[in-house]
Amino acid sequence: MKYVGRELDLFSEAKNWTAYFSARLAPLIGGCVLEVGAGIGRNICLLHTAIVEKWVSLEPDAELAARITERIQKGELPSTCRVVVGNLSDIPADSKFDTILYIDVLEHIEDDAAEVVRASSHLERHGHLIILAPAYQFLFSPFDSAVGHYRRYDASSLRSIGPMGCAIEQLYMLDSVGFLASLANRVVLRKSIPTASQVAFWDGVLVPASRFIDSVTRFKFGKTIVAVWSRS
């Protein structure tokens, strides 16, 4: 995986966006959780609910992982959290999880199909594999390249990498208004990294509009795609 630290800190201020997607994902997350590519631990505060028993943050970047560890030690994150520096190969083969999360991560992994198969081998029966990723390859922009994305996804490409033994439960799009902003960036602005003011405008104005419009359009298009598989 490749990260740009500035990107993680910049988007950590997107409060409306994180509240939006976390409200949809949180009811599916419980038991023993594995978050792959945990970054700076932003998602723990959003998605660690009362029904989470253990949260394992798997992060290949040692500096980012250290930031999560420090927050756990300070009591800023729940004591049920622990950090593993590495990737799925560093998780014992017999370790099983009720929820496995890839939040803005799978697009950073070159062989995504193999990654999903490996993840499914760690999934408990009836557990959830949840992927949130940028949508539509035609929106691929200098920003995607700058932050180490290999691709963006649509419903067909995500279905094609679904692991055997798992059934897709949910597949939908979020942030329909943000889609238009991403299209403008792809065609007109061609920015590699958005400014803080651009992120603030998207989060403060476009995301609240999307929360309304997404429901009207039945979550059929947007800047972000979500897929949820359940192990049979």
Of 194, 230, 224, 216, give the one whose Cα is nearest residue 18: 224
At 173, is the secondary structure helix, strand, or coil? strand
CA-based nearest residue to 115, from 71, 163, 183: 163
Mean pLDDT of 110-139: 96
Residue 232: pLDDT band with limits 50, 70, 90:
confident
Query: Please, which residues bridge with residue 207 across strands?
Result: none
Share of the chain above pLDDT 70, in %: 91
pLDDT attached to residue 184: 74
Percent of the chain with pLDDT strictly greater than 90: 81
Domain 5-231: top CATH class: alpha beta
78, pLDDT greater than 80: yes
List the chain domain ranges.
Answer: 5-231
| Residue 84's pLDDT band (cuts 50, 70, 90) | very high
Least confident interval from 71-85, 125-139, 155-169, 179-193: 179-193
Residue 8 binned pLDDT confidence (cut-offs 50, 70, 90): low
Q: What is the pLDDT of residue 186?
A: 66
Measure the CA–CA gap between 163 and 113, rounded to whole angstroms. Answer: 8
What pLDDT score does 118 carry? 96
Q: Write down the residue that tokens 């009836």 correspond to.
A: 126
Residue 7 pLDDT class (50, 70, 90 cuts): low
Max CA distance (Å), the chain: 49
Give the pTM: 0.92
